[in-house]
Chain A
Amino acid sequence: MKILIFADLDVRLIDGSSTWLASLAEVLSAGGHRVQLLSKVRFDESRVLDRLGGRFPDISIDMPEDDDSALDPNAAAARASRLHEQHDFDAIIVRGFNACFAFSKHQDLSPKLWSYITDLPFPIDELSKYQSDRLEQVASRSFRMFAQTEAARSYLEAAAPSASGKTLVLPPMVPDEAFESGSRNIGQGTPLRLIYAGKLAKQWHTREMLALPETLRDRGIDAELVVVGDKLQHDVDDPAWGDDMRGALIAADEDENSSVTWLGGLPRNEVLQQLSRAHIGIGWRSPALDSSLEVSTKALEYAATSTLPLLNLSTDHLSLWGEDYPLFVRSEDSVHDVADRIVAAMPKLANAVASVRSTAFDFSMDAAATRLNRQLVRSVRKTPSGRRPAKVVISSHDFKFLGELVDGLNQQPDLELAFDGWTSLHNHDEALSSEIKSDADVVFCEWAGPSLVWHAENKVPGTKLIARLHGFELRGPWLKNLMAEAVDQWVFVSERYRAMAIDQLNLDFDSTTVIPNMIDAEDFNRPKLAGSGFQLGMVGIVGFGKRPDRALDLLEQLLEHDDRYILRIKGRPPWDYPHEWRDPLQRQLYLDFYSRIRNSEALRTHIAFESFSPDIASWLRGIGFVLSPSHNESFHLAPVEGMASGAVPIVWQREGAEEIFGRDWLVENTHEAAQKILSLNSNSERSRAASRAREQSLKWDRDRVLQLWYEILEVK
C-alpha cells in the first residue's frame, strides 16, 4: 500500500512526537508498505529521521522548498493533495488537530484520511462548541481515526459521535533496542538503583525524588539515584522552581553522600543503556497527570528495559500493570511514604520484572506492525481490476444497519456505490430516485418497505433488484401492492423470517437467502472495566416487546442476593417515539414501568438511564451481562454486540432465538436468568462464558458476513 504521513511537528527536534513519527514510518515500511513522509519543515539534518535512512528504502521524504517557512496545516493539506494526485495513496495518516481539520476539508484527501488527534482538548469542559464542531467535522469526514489508549478512544467517541466505530487504538511504540537488555538481580549485594529519565518538571516530583536514596538508607536499604535529562520545565505558578531544581540537582550531584548522580541530557542509546542498569524507574507524578488519557511512554520504556516503573495508583495503571503490581504510589505521598512503599515492595520486585516486560511487549514495534497491518488490510480499498465498476444503488429511509455493509462495499475496487435516501418510510424525491437508479446494475432496498414497492414497479430491465426484509415489514399494508416477481433476491436476517415471508408472500425459495446482521467484532473487542460483572446492560426499550419490565423483575431478584447489581438502560425513552407513545396500552405499560421504579427504593437506586449515543462499543466496556428479554425479535443486534464485547448474553426464550444464539444463552424465564447470572458470578465462570460468547460472535463479524453479501451482489 502507498501511505502518506504528515505530523504537525518539527522533525529537527527530538521529542516524543518526532520519535513517534519515525517509529510509525519504520513500522509501516517494515510491513511492506511504501511510505511518503511529508515534513512540516525543510531540514538538512534530523536525528530522529536520519536513523531511518538506508535501512528503509521504501520511505521517501517530501519537504517544503523554502528554508524559512514551515507548512501550516492548510499549506500541508494543499501539498498533500498534489502528492495524492501523483501517487494515489491508499491511506493518509495525519497527526495533530489543526492538521487533521485542514486535511478533512479536502474532498480528495478525506476518504483516505486516518486522523490522529493527540492534542484533543481535555477534559470535556475544555472543549468549546467551536472545537467540538471542528472535531465532529474531522470525525465525520475521516475514514478512520486513531486514539492512543482505550480511555482516549472512549473520550473521543463521546466527544465526537461520528468517531464511533471508526476509531482504532494506536498505542505508543517502544523501539526494539529497548528490549535488548537482560534482567538484573535485585538486592543481592548491589545497591538498589533508581533512575529518572525525562523532563525535569515539578509535576514529575523531580525535586522531591532527590531525597529518596537518603530516605531509603534510613530504612536500611542502600540505594542510588541516576537522573537523566536537562530540560527544565518552567512552572507558571512557581517561577522560582526551575532555579531551585537546578541548584538542588547540582548540589546533590556534588554531594558524595547524596547517592544522586545527574548525567544531564544523553543520546537515546545511552539513555537506554542507563535504563538497562537500573532496578526501578521513577514515574511518580502529580495528581494533574493522573487524569491523563495517555499511557506513559516513560513507564513503558522502563518496563521494556526490565526496569520496574514506580507509578501513581490510577485505574488506567491498575488495568495496564495489574492489581498485584507492587510499585504503586499515590501522587500526594511524601518522599517518606514512597520510600516505605519501596521497602514494602522489595520482596516482590524480582518476580514482577517478567510481568512488566511482557506488558511492554504489547507496545513493541513488532506488535505495532502486526496491529497496523491488520487494521490496514481490514480497512483499505482493494486495487481496481480495470473493469467497468458495477453500480450498486442502496435505497433506504433508515441507514442504521448499513454501517459495516457500506464500509465493506466501499473497499471493493470494482464497485460504484450510490444512495437513494428516502426522507421517511413512505416519502422520497421521485425524480431523484429515478435518476439515481437509471443506470444501476444493482438496486438494493434495505427495507421491504414502500421503497421496494416503488423500485419493483419502476425496475429497469437488466437491473438486479435485491431486498432485505428485517421483520416489521411483514405487517406493512404496502406489501399487497408489491410486484414480488420483480425482486430477484430476497435477504432475511433469520430462517424464521425467511419461512414467514415465503409463506406470506408466496416467494420462490431459491430467490431467498439468509444473511445475518453483522458487527465489527474488532471494534467491540475492548477491555472490560473493573466491576463490570455486576452491570446488566439493556440497549433499547422501545416498543414494549423489548420487555423492560422483565429486566426490572430480574434486577429485583438479583438484588435479593447481592446489592451490587446495577441495570443500565441505554437508548431513547418511549416518548421520543411519538408513534409508539400514542399507543394507549403501550403508554400505560411504560408508565407502569416507570412508576414501579419511582415507587421502589431498591430499583430507583440501582438503575441508570443512559441516553442514545453511537459509542456503544465504549459503553459496553462497563457491561458484564447484556440482556435480551424481548418477546419477539427478528434478530436482535444488541446482545450480539454485547457478546463481541465480552459480555455474557442472557436471552429469554422466544421463537427463533435458538436459531440465532444457540441453547447456551437462553433462559426460560426471569428466575432462570437470575440463577444463571448469580451462578456465573459466584463460581468465577463468567470470564470463561464471556470468552465463549466472544468467540461465538465472530460468526457475525463483518469479514465473514461481507463474503455472503459479495456473493449475492456478484462482487468478485
Chain B
Amino acid sequence: MKFGTLAAILGTIGTVAAVGLIAIPTLGLQPPGVAIAVAVLAGLLGFNLLSSRRQHRALLREINRVDNRVSRVEFRTEPVHDIRGSVAKTSGGMREALQHLKTLVDDERPAAFWVQSQSADGTSVSHSSLFAPGTIPASPMQARPKMHVPGRDAAQQDMKVSSGRNLGHLLQAPDAALEREIALVGGKALVTKLESAGTVTIVTPGMAENAVGPTTAFLVIDLETLSESPWRGVLEASGTRLYQELHTAVKAARKRGTVVVVHGDSVPTHFTASLEKLAHVRLKNNELEPARWGDDIHSEVIKAIRDFEKHVSKDEVAQHR
C-alpha cells in the first residue's frame, strides 16, 4: 500500500472518530475527541509537507537527469558540425525551460525564516525576529573542490544553500521581524534606553531559564542595579542558590547563541568574576572589552547602553532607582 493511501485511510478514520466523539456529549469523551482531531490535523499537515518536499526532490532529480542527457547528446554530436548547431539551439531552449522549472521549484520551497503565527485571539500575526540566534542559519559548506590548487581558486567553496538566500531574507525582512528581544537582569534604569533597540523583558528569579528563550538576541546583566532588583545578593556567597539559577540561565543562553553583556561597575564580590567570565562583552565606564574589532563597532544594543552611560548622570541613575 502506498504511503499516501495509508495516510488518507488513517486521516478519514481519525476524522470520523473525532467528529463522533465531539458530536455526542453524552459519551463524555469530548476531550479525547478534540485530541484526535488535533492529531489528525497535525498528521495531515506533516504528510502534506513531506509529500510536497518529496515531489520537489523528484522533480529536481528529473530536471538534472534531463540536463545530463542533453549534455551527453551534445558530446556525441559535437564532431558533426551540422548537427552540432541544431543540438546547441535545441538544448539551449530546453535548458531555459529547465531553469524556469527549477526556479519555480525553488520558489515553492517553504521559507523557514519568517514563520507567521496567530495569537490567541486568532487575529494578530507575529514574525520570528531576524535577530533571534537561530533565524538566519549558517550555510554549511559541502566541498572545497580546489582547496589544493595554488592561488585564489583555492578559496572556492560549494555551499549547501545559496548564499543569496539569507541575504534576500535579511534585506526583505518584514518590519515585524526587525524587533530584537532583549532580556535584562537588573533594575529598571536601563530599560528605556534598551527599548530603543528592542523589546525588553525583565528577568526575575524563578523564571530565568524560561525568560531567556531561544529568540532572545541579547541578555544584559546590569551589575550597577542588581541590588535594586529581585536579584539582590546574587553575587554574594550567601546567594549561591540564586547565582546557580542565573549561572544556569546564562550558560543556556550562551549555548543558544544569545549575546551576554555584563554592564556596569560594582564593588567585586564572590561571584562577580565568575559572572564576568560568562560575558561576551563587558561594558564598564563606557569601555568595551574585548575590543577586538575596535571600540567604535556599530551595535544598536551597545550603543543604547553607552547612551545611557553618557547621558544619565549618576544622580539621575539614583533617581531612576
A and B bind: yes
8 A Cβ contacts from B254-301 to A: 254, 257-260, 280-281, 292-294, 296-301
Q: Is B241 on the interface with A (CB-CB < 8 A)? A: no
| Chain B residues with CB below 8 A from A591, complex form | 130-131, 136, 170, 217
Q: Is the CB of B147 within 8 A of A421?
A: yes
Contact with A along B166-179 (1 / 0, CB 8 A): 11001111000010
| Chain B residues with CB below 8 A from A175, complex form | none
8 A Cβ contacts from B91-133 to A: 91-92, 95-96, 130-131, 133
Q: Is the CB of A573 within 8 A of B166?
A: yes
Total inter-chain residue pairs, C-beta < 8 Å: 169
Contact with B along A630-669 (1 / 0, CB 8 A): 0110000000000000000000000000000000000000
Q: Is the CB of A593 within 8 A of B298?
A: yes
A481 to B171, CA, bound (A): 46
Q: Is the CB of A588 within 8 A of B218?
A: yes
A126 to B67, CA, bound (A): 15
Q: Is the CB of B167 within 8 A of A609?
A: yes
Q: Which of chain A's residues has its CB closest to B254's CB?
A: A584
Q: Is A384 on the interface with B (CB-CB < 8 A)? A: no
A545 to B85, CA, bound (A): 52
Q: Is A129 on the interface with B (CB-CB < 8 A)? A: yes
When A589-B297, A591-B130 are in contact, do A575 and B136 touch as well, CB less than 8 Å? Answer: yes
Q: Which of chain B's residues has its CB closest to A588's CB?
A: B259
| Chain A residues with CB below 8 A from B91, complex form | 128
A442 to B171, CA, bound (A): 51
When A576-B139, A585-B281, A611-B163 are in contact, do A399 and B150 touch as well, CB less than 8 Å? Answer: yes
* Residue from B171, B280, B297 within 8 A of A598 (CB atoms): B171
Q: Is A599 on the interface with B (CB-CB < 8 A)? A: yes
When A399-B147, A592-B300 are in contact, do A129 and B166 touch as well, CB less than 8 Å? Answer: no
8 A Cβ contacts from A564-581 to B: 572-573, 575-578, 581
Contact with B along A103-147 (1 / 0, CB 8 A): 000000000000000000000011011110000000010000000
Q: Is B206 on the interface with A (CB-CB < 8 A)? A: no
Q: Is A582 on the interface with B (CB-CB < 8 A)? A: yes
Within the complex, the shortest CB–CB distance from B191 to chain A, in Å, comes to 19
Q: Is B3 on the interface with A (CB-CB < 8 A)? A: no
Q: Is the CB of A575 within 8 A of B178?
A: no
Q: Is the CB of B150 within 8 A of A402?
A: yes
Q: Is the CB of B257 within 8 A of A584?
A: yes
* Residue from A404, A586, A589, A612 within 8 A of B298 (CB atoms): A589
Q: Is the CB of A406 within 8 A of B167?
A: no
* Residue from B88, B140, B166, B293 within 8 A of A545 (CB atoms): B293
Q: Is B1 on the interface with A (CB-CB < 8 A)? A: no
When A399-B149, A573-B166 are in contact, do A588 and B299 touch as well, CB less than 8 Å? Answer: yes
* Residue from B88, B152, B171, B299 within 8 A of A164 (CB atoms): B152
A576 to B147, CA, bound (A): 16
Q: Is the CB of B294 within 8 A of A403?
A: no
Q: Is A614 on the interface with B (CB-CB < 8 A)? A: yes
Q: Is B13 on the interface with A (CB-CB < 8 A)? A: no
Q: Is B74 on the interface with A (CB-CB < 8 A)? A: yes
Q: Is the CB of B293 within 8 A of A584?
A: no
Q: Is B148 on the interface with A (CB-CB < 8 A)? A: yes
A330 to B130, CA, bound (A): 50
Q: Is A596 on the interface with B (CB-CB < 8 A)? A: yes
When A128-B91, A543-B293 are in contact, do A594 and B170 touch as well, CB less than 8 Å? Answer: yes
Q: Is the CB of B257 within 8 A of A614?
A: no
Q: Which of chain A's residues has its CB closest to B135's CB?
A: A591
Within the complex, the shortest CB–CB distance from B140 to chain A, in Å, comes to 6
Contact with B along A419-431 (1 / 0, CB 8 A): 1010100000000
| Chain A residues with CB below 8 A from B130, complex form | 591, 595
8 A Cβ contacts from A303-318 to B: none
Interface residues on B, range: 35 or more
| Chain A residues with CB below 8 A from B258, complex form | 584
Q: Is B4 on the interface with A (CB-CB < 8 A)? A: no
Q: Is the CB of A595 within 8 A of B178?
A: yes
Q: Which of chain A's residues has its CB closest to B257's CB?
A: A584
Q: Is the CB of B280 within 8 A of A585?
A: yes
Binds A, one of B29-37, B50-58, B154-162, B223-231: B154-162
A544 to B20, CA, bound (A): 61
A161 to B259, CA, bound (A): 39
Q: Is the CB of B152 within 8 A of A400?
A: yes
Q: Is the CB of B299 within 8 A of A589?
A: yes
Q: Is B317 on the interface with A (CB-CB < 8 A)? A: no
Q: Is the CB of B138 within 8 A of A582?
A: yes
8 A Cβ contacts from B179-224 to A: 217-218
A545 to B294, CA, bound (A): 7
A581 to B79, CA, bound (A): 50
When A399-B150, A575-B163, A592-B300 are in contact, do A129 and B67 touch as well, CB less than 8 Å? Answer: yes
| Chain A residues with CB below 8 A from B95, complex form | 128-129
| Chain A residues with CB below 8 A from B148, complex form | 399, 419, 421
When A588-B131, A631-B293 are in contact, do A407 and B150 touch as well, CB less than 8 Å? Answer: yes
Q: Is the CB of B152 within 8 A of A128?
A: no
Q: Is A398 on the interface with B (CB-CB < 8 A)? A: yes
Within the complex, the shortest CB–CB distance from A655 to chain B, in Å, comes to 11
Q: Is B80 on the interface with A (CB-CB < 8 A)? A: no
A418 to B104, CA, bound (A): 47
8 A Cβ contacts from B54-91 to A: 67, 70-71, 74-75, 78-79, 88, 91
Q: Is the CB of A584 within 8 A of B300?
A: no
| Chain A residues with CB below 8 A from B25, complex form | none
Q: Is the CB of B151 within 8 A of A614?
A: yes
A322 to B282, CA, bound (A): 58
Within the complex, the shortest CB–CB distance from B146 to chain A, in Å, comes to 8
Q: Is A549 on the interface with B (CB-CB < 8 A)? A: yes
A611 to B67, CA, bound (A): 25
Q: Is the CB of B257 within 8 A of A587?
A: yes
| Chain B residues with CB below 8 A from A611, complex form | 163-164
Interface centre among B130, B141, B151 (most CB of A within 10 A): B151
Q: Is the CB of A544 within 8 A of B171?
A: no
Within the complex, the shortest CB–CB distance from B178 to chain A, in Å, comes to 6
The 10 A-B residue pairs with the shortest CB-CB distance in the complex, in nearest-first order:
A403-B151, A549-B298, A631-B294, A421-B148, A406-B150, A578-B138, A130-B71, A402-B150, A399-B154, A614-B152
26 CB contacts below 8 A, A to B, read A128-B71, A128-B74, A140-B149, A162-B149, A165-B151, A399-B148, A402-B150, A404-B151, A419-B148, A547-B293, A547-B297, A553-B298, A572-B157, A575-B163, A576-B141, A578-B138, A581-B138, A582-B138, A584-B257, A584-B258, A584-B260, A593-B298, A595-B130, A595-B170, A614-B153, A632-B293
Extra pairs beyond A587-B136, A591-B217 (13, CB < 8 Å): A128-B74, A128-B91, A130-B75, A162-B153, A398-B154, A403-B153, A573-B166, A575-B139, A589-B297, A589-B298, A594-B167, A595-B178, A597-B171
Residues of A within 8 A of B (CB): 72, 98, 125-126, 128-131, 140, 161-162, 164-165, 397-400, 402-407, 419, 421, 423, 543-545, 547, 549-550, 552-553, 572-573, 575-578, 581-582, 584-589, 591-599, 604, 609, 611-612, 614, 616, 631-632
